[in-house]
Amino acid sequence: MFHRPILAAAAFAAFAGAATAQTAMPFALDWKFEGPAAPYFVAIDKGYFADVGLEVEITAGQGSLDAIPKVATGAFPVGFADINSLIKFLDQNPGAPVTAVMMVYDKPPFAVVGRKSQGVEAPKDLEGRVLGAPPPDGAWAQFPIFAAENDLDMDAITVEPVGFPTREPMLAEGEVDAVTGFSFSSFLNLVRLGVPEDDISTILMADHGVALYGNAVIVNTEFAAANPAAVEGFLEAVAMGWKDAIAEPAAAIESLVARNPAADAALEERRLALAIDANVVTDYTAANGMGTVDADRMATALEQIALTYEFQNAPDASLYFTDAYLPEGGFPLD
């Protein structure tokens, strides 16, 4: 069974018993303050969180698995994380008080990003080449499924563990032939390093047989049970922040740059636009609203995870995602 550290439990209790006027809801992001984080800062700056009685402080993360233990231990009541990694975490930690409550990346940004000049344009091109992969990377975590769906010979691929800061520089210098990463991040990081755009190949796993979902808002279930209105309000504010960012990406980036003055505003606006177009606004979310998941697709995703991961317990979709805090039909994006 999963046990929370005493200090984390005490911190959780402080959040759960926050002031009646304003509930403190620290939010653990998956990554740095880059373009796709802008909608959450928009929700702060436009008062969407405050309007529903919430005081939200956003903390950067170190990868799409990073927020899961933070939320499970109660160190943070809410976070942003890869749902596939959450599924494995809950399988390995039965009863951990964490679940996903709002799907954000309906089409996940998991990708293999390569250099055409180094012979990488399609999945099979990885055979006989060097793939750089950061061990905590969400895209690397899904690579075995991508490999299975595309019949890749893993013995023919040299996988080199790399750090997040060195991933794209190593590809730019030709030290590796491709890397795993989020499509919008790795692509633009390479552009910033001077790699010609027409030399970059972005192989989106979702376009090559991978039916998985991507990153979602996750909550500590004990906090949510004690503060359901706060969770509902948080998700509503997040949706409003995303809706504004979709309508006016440039304005959203102003909120981001206010927290990360070193950011290249034009680059981050483009990164946000890539995330919106490829991951957030999809045929499904256009028809069904933002935040929900399709039960049949989730079942397929669980089957795909089982191709390369041995479940210790029978998979149960209800443990990994709930729409209890969403409005019926999700949040319309139009």
**In this predicted model, what pLDDT tens digit does every residue of 26-53 receive, in sequence order?**
999 999 999 999 999 999 999 999 999 9
Single-letter code of the amino acid located at 89: F
Q: Quick one: pLDDT band at residue 2, thresholds 50, 70, 90?
A: low
d(CA 267, CA 247): 18
Whether residue 303 sits in one domain with residue 231: yes
Q: Give the end of a domain, one of 207, 242, 262.
A: 207
Whether residue 90 sits in one domain with residue 11: yes
Taking the alpha carbons of 247, 250, 254, 256 in that order, is the dihedral positive or negative? positive
Where do runs of H (alpha helix) occur along 55-182? Answer: 67-72, 83-92, 138-149, 164-172
Judge whether 331 lies within some domain: no
Whether residue 153 sits in one domain with residue 67: no
* Averaged confidence pLDDT in the chain: 93
Q: Quick one: pLDDT band at residue 206, thresholds 50, 70, 90?
A: very high
d(CA 266, CA 250): 8
Domain ranges, residue 167:
110-207
- Name 201's Cβ contacts closer than 8 Å, sequence gap at least 6: 113, 114, 115, 116, 120, 121, 122, 178
Q: Give the end of a domain, one of 207, 224, 248.
A: 207
- Neighbouring CB atoms inside 10 A of 273's CB total 18
Whether residue 223 sits in one domain with residue 296: yes
Whether residue 97 sits in one domain with residue 223: yes
Closest C-alpha to 100, from 257, 220, 249: 220
Judge whether 1 lies within some domain: no
Domain count, the chain: 2
> Where is 28: in which H helix or E strand?
strand 27-28
Estimate to the nearest angstrom the gap between the alpha carbon of 239 and the chain centroid.
Answer: 15
**CATH number for the domain that contains residue 198:** 3.40.190.10
Q: Quick one: pLDDT band at residue 307, thresholds 50, 70, 90?
A: confident
Whether residue 224 sits in one domain with residue 195: no
Whether residue 228 sits in one domain with residue 102: yes
- Name 313's Cβ contacts closer than 8 Å, sequence gap at least 6: 91, 94
Task: Answer whether residue 16 shows pLDDT above 50.
Answer: no
Q: Give the end of a domain, one of 162, 192, 207.
A: 207
Whether residue 146 sits in one domain with residue 158: yes
